[in-house]
Structure 1
Amino acid sequence: MKTANILVIGGGIIGVSLAYGLAERGEQVTVLDYGKGVNNASRGNFGLVWVQSKGLGMRRYAEWTMEAAQLWQRFSEDLSEKTGIAIDYKKQGGFEVCLGETEWSQRKVVLEQLRTESSTGTYDCHMLDHQAVQDLIPEMRLGEAVFGASFSPHDGHLNPLALLTALMASLKKAGVTHYLDQQVESVSYRNDCFEIKTAGENFSAKKVVLACGLGIKVLAQQVGLEIPIRPQRGQILVTERAKPLLPYPFVTLRQTQEGSFLIGSSHEDVGLDTGTTLSQMRNLAGHAVQIFPELARLQLLRCWGALRILTPDTKPLYVESDTCPGAFVVTSHSGITLAPLHANILSKWILEGVTPEGFEQFHPKRFDA
């Protein structure tokens, strides 16, 4: 039987961010990843570090997201220094576009609610009219349907595959043991220790962290936790490369460092189906062309579908089991945005039991009827 102080189940962005933070604190960590490497783990991610709109109805999540965004520059630089891998993180601000006056009015209401809910009565996100947006993006003509947009200076974007590669390279340098293609079948707890069984190996650990997406639900029940999560499919389109035109990311559209435009993303309740559909591809492309008509001249090279992991209110869920202390669940559909906090604050929570202020808001008891 293989042993570890802390065993992280899940090798996606959340799992490796946690393992990175734990290793930085000098802890012996093992990661079990049921996947075929970095391509699968990050293939469905749009690569946004996003603040605006998050946290409506849960002030702590709005604050949590802002705290993460403020740490991202240093987090990016540290990873690049450790690994030599550039993750192309850019923080110039970002837009959520409004097609028509109705969307504009609805968006304004959301921002006012976030402002009202904040502890300071402020929310650093502003409404811009069509011309103000156009002035910031002189290289691309906005479509006539664009009434305006909200703009947050705290939003940014990056290369999600490079991020995951850098995190994994850092884990290797820190001596973290990383097992690929290890599907966990069971987790049991006795004598203050966890036994984790996969198809080919047995592991024991003092603490276990479930960060394995949809796999969390069944494993969490084995450590006394009920975790309500569901999949939601998102489809993304990729264009051919073009010269640099769009310096700012939009929530549904961004230009990569290499020049391709990523266009997304759908929100489909289709179970575990990760396929693509012609109807959604048309919808996504049509919406993008309404924002920037000249995108119609670019060829679409590929598309994909992948699954988001959502709680009922779409906000993060963090909890330690009462009946099996030392078993933790971490899940969020904002794994990239929150990565610096997962590596920093959550690693301290897992190691030392230091509960961050307002953390009870992320407990699954909020879903109890």
Structure 2
Amino acid sequence: MRSADTIVIGGGLSGSAIALGLVREGAGRVMLFDEQLPTQRLSRGNFGLTWFMCKGASHPIYAQWSRLACQHWPDFAARLEEESGYNIELEWTGGAVHAIGEEEFKVHTESIEGLKAVCAQVGLDYPVKMLDRQELAELIPKIELGPEVSGAMYTPEQGHVNPLKLMAAMRAAFQNKGGTFIGAQTVSAILPKTGGTIILKTNTGDYQCQKLVVAAGHGSTRLLAPLGEKLHIYPQRGQLMVTQRHKRVLSIPMLCVRQTPDGTFVIGLSTEDTALDNRVTTEAMQSQAANAIRLFPMLAKVNWVRAWGAIRVMTPDGAPIYSRIPGNDNITVVALHSAVSLAPLAVNIVAPWIGGTGDHELLPHFKNGRFDV
């Protein structure tokens, strides 16, 4: 039977970040399992924003957590690139959320004031301001705004990244530091034993460990149910579209449109309740394209070449779950969307907490049990 000090089930963005954080903390032998199901590759459908703006509008703690994550991002990226040898294509150029009409401009303004107050409660700044139409146009002078755009909320302290290279970099850094990555590994059962040892039944045999992290997305529900833990997550489909390459004209990412370093435009802001169906639909593509063209009319002239769907892991309040399993404190579940934005905290804060070498005052607010009412 193969053994490790800690095993992480789930090799997507969240699981890879936790695994990297554990080996950085000197957590002994760490294994990372990736089942590689073709229908649940959420990390391969991520929009790639390193973002705090607008997050947590109805969840103050999540707003604070997201802001803290973006404070970590530049240093996190620099260290990750050094450890992995990957260029994760981070562009720390700021970001904006456009407004259509004066009413939406007013709503954005009020949202900023509320979130500034929320972050100030824990000593965090919230460097977001409203730009009128002229100020926004001057910020992105190479691309024309649609006639209905009234302005945008903007911050210079966020950006975007290549999510595929981010995941590859975290996996590479994890292995460079001595971690063991095992692909095509399906876990069928988690069997806690007296004395704290955990046995995992897999398609390639049994494994044992002293600590276990379950970060398997929607697969986590099946694994935790026999332990008496109901995981409060549900699937939500998002669809993305990408264009042919075009000269760089958009210097900052918008919430629903960004231009990558290779010149392609990516759009995506759909939310659909479709269980685990990750197919694309013409209706969503038409809606997303129309919204993008409303913001930037020139997008009507470029060719859209590919579209794909992915199944998000959502919680009832939108905030992440970082939670130890009652009665099995050496088993931790991690479940969330926004895994790109929150990656620095998974590495720098959540992993040390799991390993027993660190803690943070905000972590208790993200227990799975908060939904047991």
Q: TM-score range by the shorter chain?
A: over 0.9
What secondary structure does 2:277 align onto?
coil
Per-residue deviation, 1:40: 4.0
- 1:167-186 aligned within 5 A: 167-186=170-189
Per-residue deviation, 1:358: 2.6
- 67-76 or 274-283, which moves further after superposition? 67-76
- Distance (whole Å) between structure 1 residues aligned to residue 335 and residue 350 of structure 2: 12
8 Å contact kept, 2:64–2:118 = no
Counterpart in the other structure of 1:138: 141
- 1:101-250 aligned within 5 A: 101-118=102-119, 119=121, 123-191=126-194, 192-250=196-254
Q: Does 1:76 align with 2:77?
A: yes
Per-residue deviation, 1:190: 1.1
Aligned-partner residue type, residue 265 of structure 2: F
- Deviation per CA, 1:119-145: give whole Å up to 9, x if none: 169632111111110010100010001
What secondary structure does 1:124 align onto?
coil
TM-score normalised over the length of structure 2: 0.95
Counterpart in the other structure of 1:335: 339
8 Å contact kept, 1:11–1:41 = no
8 Å contact kept, 1:224–1:324 = no
2:312 aligned residue (304, 308, 314): 308
- Deviation per CA, 1:215-272: give whole Å up to 9, x if none: 1112222334221101110111100001111110001000001000001121011111
Aligned-partner residue type, residue 90 of structure 1: E
Q: Does 1:318 align with 2:322?
A: yes
Q: CA RMSD in A?
A: 1.7
Per-residue deviation, 1:77: 1.2
Per-residue deviation, 1:99: 1.5
- Distance (whole Å) between structure 1 residues aligned to residue 242 and residue 369 of structure 2: 40
| CA pair 121-174 structure 1, distance change in 2 beyond 3 A | closer
Counterpart in the other structure of 2:101: 100
- Deviation per CA, 1:290-331: give whole Å up to 9, x if none: 111011111001000001100001111111122112000111
- Distance (whole Å) between structure 1 residues aligned to residue 358 and residue 59 of structure 2: 21
Aligned length: 368
- 167-176 or 291-300, which moves further after superposition? 167-176
| CA pair 183-270 structure 1, distance change in 2 beyond 3 A | same
Counterpart in the other structure of 1:10: 10
8 Å contact kept, 1:128–1:150 = yes
Q: Does 1:292 align with 2:296?
A: yes
Aligned-partner residue type, residue 154 of structure 1: E
8 Å contact kept, 1:248–1:254 = yes
Aligned-partner residue type, residue 91 of structure 2: K
**Share of identical aligned residues, percent?**
37
- Deviation per CA, 1:9-65: give whole Å up to 9, x if none: 00000000011111112221001111069x945321100000101122333322221
- Distance (whole Å) between structure 2 residues aligned to residue 226 and residue 152 of structure 1: 38
- Deviation per CA, 1:69-114: give whole Å up to 9, x if none: 1111111111211222100111111011111222222222322322
Aligned-partner residue type, residue 21 of structure 1: G
TM-score normalised over the length of structure 1: 0.96
Per-residue deviation, 1:353: 6.0
Aligned-partner residue type, residue 140 of structure 2: I
| CA pair 122-78 structure 1, distance change in 2 beyond 3 A | closer
Aligned-partner residue type, residue 327 of structure 1: I
